[in-house]
């Protein structure tokens, strides 16, 4: 079911047996039509997850649906007070073009792979892969991100907190594309930090994002790689809002910081795996939480 007008070649190692048809839609309408009709086709955006997996396993899908030339997916717009990031926006673009408007997400983008990876790797690909260690996930949870998905059946918006079903599992239907991510613009401190086995080109052993909106009325704390999916630490968020109200403009007392850290650790559900232990993840998450809350609080006091 591949229209010959769009079938422009074959991908893969020319010397290896597995071959894939290659579909490259020119616009979003064509991409959605192909997504609906060519059911065996696998979407490829930057290819930094997909092609690595394909090469490692010597695997080739029946067809590749390359959405990297779909302009509509690569735009950043302001809409109804929100910033709409196309799913095809790369981490390089976020880091170099939007750090002033989305500082927390830019900090996360900065830790993704290398400059070469960030040049190709897209926000949509990072979400669709559904890795619990995806660096954009906690940063986007801290921004109350909503995921826009489209198919020929229509469009829908899902809060990021409801998008992941488990490791590598999302609510994305087989005929849908992620088309955009909608986030709140920057209004207060936004932080992101991750612990890896080295300081660059490292998958997160754990990561944490924190955002505080003006006057401390709304706080978001989210972490990655320490549960089956990235998740918010709801009790820690509520505790910090109450603490900030009680403390006013003063320094956060050490016992409040310690309780905040305890609540973040309690929200985690980490595992032992080849990279590290659950105990280390929980410990490191607490260290990130303590540093983040102290730094964010200093920023709030300076504003």
Q: Which residues bind ligand FAD (CB under 6 A)?
A: 42-50, 52, 67, 87, 111-113, 117, 120-122, 124-126, 128-129, 134-135, 172, 177-178, 201, 203
Query: What minimum distance in Å lies between the beta carbon of 131 and ligand FAD?
Result: 7
54 contacts: CB under 8 Å, gap ≥ 6: 12, 60, 61
The pair of structure tokens assigned to 7 is 């079938």
| CB-nearer residue toward ligand FAD: 125 or 216 | 125
| CB-nearer residue toward ligand FAD: 163 or 297 | 163
The pair of structure tokens assigned to 302 is 């300076």
Cα(110)–Cα(113) distance, rounded to whole angstroms?
A: 8
| CB-nearer residue toward ligand FAD: 203 or 278 | 203
- Do the beta carbons of residue 193 and residue 208 sit within 8 Å? yes
Q: Could you give the strand order of the β-sheet that contains 20-23, starting from the edge strand earlier in sequence?
A: 7-11, 20-23, 63-66, 41-44
Query: What minimum distance in Å lies between the beta carbon of 24 and ligand FAD?
Result: 13
Query: What minimum distance in Å lies between the beta carbon of 149 and ligand FAD?
Result: 8
| CB-nearer residue toward ligand FAD: 101 or 120 | 120
| CB-nearer residue toward ligand FAD: 53 or 254 | 53
38 contacts: CB under 8 Å, gap ≥ 6: 1, 2, 23, 63, 65
The pair of structure tokens assigned to 75 is 């735009």
- Do the beta carbons of residue 79 and residue 183 sit within 8 Å? no
Query: What minimum distance in Å lies between the beta carbon of 216 and ligand FAD?
Result: 29
The pair of structure tokens assigned to 292 is 């983040």
Helices and strands, number each (H, E), in the chain: 10, 15
| CB-nearer residue toward ligand FAD: 23 or 67 | 67
Query: What minimum distance in Å lies between the beta carbon of 91 and ligand FAD?
Result: 7
Query: What minimum distance in Å lies between the beta carbon of 163 and ligand FAD?
Result: 11
Query: What minimum distance in Å lies between the beta carbon of 108 and ligand FAD?
Result: 8
| CB-nearer residue toward ligand FAD: 51 or 241 | 51
Sort residue 30 into left (φ over 0), alpha (ψ -120 to 50) or beta.
alpha
Residue of this chain nearest to ligand FAD (CB atom): 125
């Amino acid at each position: 079911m591949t229209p010959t007008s769009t079938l422009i070649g074959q991908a893969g190692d020319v010397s290896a047996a597995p071959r894939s048809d290659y579909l490259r839609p020119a616009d979003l309408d064509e991409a959605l039509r192909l997504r609906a009709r060519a059911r065996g086709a696998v979407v490829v955006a930057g290819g930094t997850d997909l092609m690595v997996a394909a090469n490692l396993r010597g695997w080739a899908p029946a067809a590749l649906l390359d959405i990297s030339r779909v302009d509509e997916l690569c735009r950043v717009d302001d809409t109804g007070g929100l910033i709409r990031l196309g799913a095809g926006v790369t981490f390089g673009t976020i880091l170099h073009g939007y750090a002033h408007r989305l500082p927390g997400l830019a900090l996360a983008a900065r830790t993704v792979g290398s400059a070469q990876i960030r040049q190709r790797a897209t926000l949509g690909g990072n979400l669709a892969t559904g890795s619990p260690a995806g660096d954009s996930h906690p940063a986007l949870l801290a921004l109350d991100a909503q995921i826009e998905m489209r198919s020929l059946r229509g469009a829908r918006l899902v809060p990021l907190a409801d998008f992941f079903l488990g490791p590598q599992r999302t609510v994305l239907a087989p005929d849908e594309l992620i088309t955009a991510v909608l986030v709140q613009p920057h209004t207060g401190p936004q932080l992101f930090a991750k612990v890896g086995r080295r300081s660059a080109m490292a998958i997160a052993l754990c990561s944490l994002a924190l955002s505080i909106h003006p006057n401390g009325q709304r706080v978001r704390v989210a972490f990655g790689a320490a549960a089956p999916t990235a998740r918010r630490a709801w009790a820690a968020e509520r505790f910090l809002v109450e603490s900030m109200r009680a403390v006013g403009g003063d320094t956060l007392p050490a016992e409040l910081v310690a309780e905040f850290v305890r609540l973040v650790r309690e929200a985690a559900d980490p595992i032992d795996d080849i990279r590290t232990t659950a105990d280390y993840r929980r410990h490191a998450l607490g260290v990130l939480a303590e540093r983040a809350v102290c730094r964010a609080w200093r920023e709030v006091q300076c504003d």
